[in-house]
Amino acid sequence: MREVNREIIKELRVNERIKGTEFRLVGEKGEQLGVMLLYQAREVAIKHNLDLVEVAPAAKPPVCRLMDYGKYKYEQTRKEREARKTQKLSLLREVRLRPKIGEHDFISKERSVKRFLEDGDKVKVTIMFRGRENAHPELGLRLLDRVSESFKEVAMVEKQPTRERARLHIILSPQTTQKNKIKEEIKQKQDAKT
C-alpha cells in the first residue's frame, strides 16, 4: 500500500490532468505570478511554451509551476541513480569460534574477519559454549579481547561483549583508514574517466 502512495506522490499532475479552478502560479525561475484561474494559467504556460505542473495540491490555493516536465523527470531519475550509486550496502557477517580453538584455526578465522572488514562489512564475532564451557565465560572474554586487539588498527568495537545463553559476541565495524581513503579516491578517479 505504501509503495502505491509513494508512486502517486512522484507522479505529478500536468497540463490537462490538473483539476480545480483557482491556482497560485509560480514561474520557471521561482517568481510569483499570482493567483489565477486554471484556464488563465494554461494560457500562460502555452505562451511560454512550458508545462503547467501541480506541485502542491494540498495547499490553499493549490500551487502550480511552469516548467519543462520532461526535463524535470529526467533530472529526478538521474539524481535517484546517482544516489543509489553512491549508497554502500553494509552487511553484518558472523564468524563463530569456540573457547578452545586451536592456533591455526584462530588464524584462519582471523583472516576471514579481516577480509569482511576490508570489504566494508560489519563483523559479529561469536564464541559458542557447550556443556561445562558455560562455567568459564572468562575464556570467551579473553578470546574476544584477543580478536578486538588484533583488529584495533582496522576496526572499532561497535558493541561491547554481550552474553546470550551459551553464546558471547562482539560486533566490529570497519574504520576508514588512510589506505581506504586512498583506494576510494583512486576508484572515483577511474569512474570519472569512464
Backbone phi, then psi, for 79, in 5-degree steps? Answer: -65, -40
CA 92 to centroid of chain Cα atoms: 15
At residue 29, the pLDDT reads 87
The CATH superfamily holding the domain 92-177 is Translation initiation factor 3 (IF-3), C-terminal domain (3.30.110.10)
Domain-by-domain residue ranges, the chain? 2-69, 92-177
Return the exposure string of 157-170: e unless at least 16 CB atoms fall within 10 Å of the residue's CB, then b. Answer: beeebeeeeeebbb
- For residues 58 and 29, give the distance between their C-alpha atoms in angstroms, rounded to a whole number: 22
| Ordered per-residue pLDDT tens for the chain, 194 residues | 444 444 434 678 888 888 888 889 998 888 888 898 888 888 888 998 998 998 888 888 889 999 998 898 898 889 888 888 777 677 889 999 999 889 999 999 999 999 988 888 889 999 999 988 888 888 889 998 998 888 888 888 888 888 888 899 899 988 865 455 666 777 777 777 76
- For residues 173 and 37, give the distance between their C-alpha atoms in angstroms, rounded to a whole number: 58
Q: CB-based contacts of 139: which residues, under 8 Å, 6+ apart?
A: 99, 100, 133
Q: CB-based contacts of 148: which residues, under 8 Å, 6+ apart?
A: 155, 157, 170, 172
Any idea what DSSP says for residue 89?
P
Task: Identify the CATH number of the domain defined by range 2-69.
Answer: 3.10.20.80
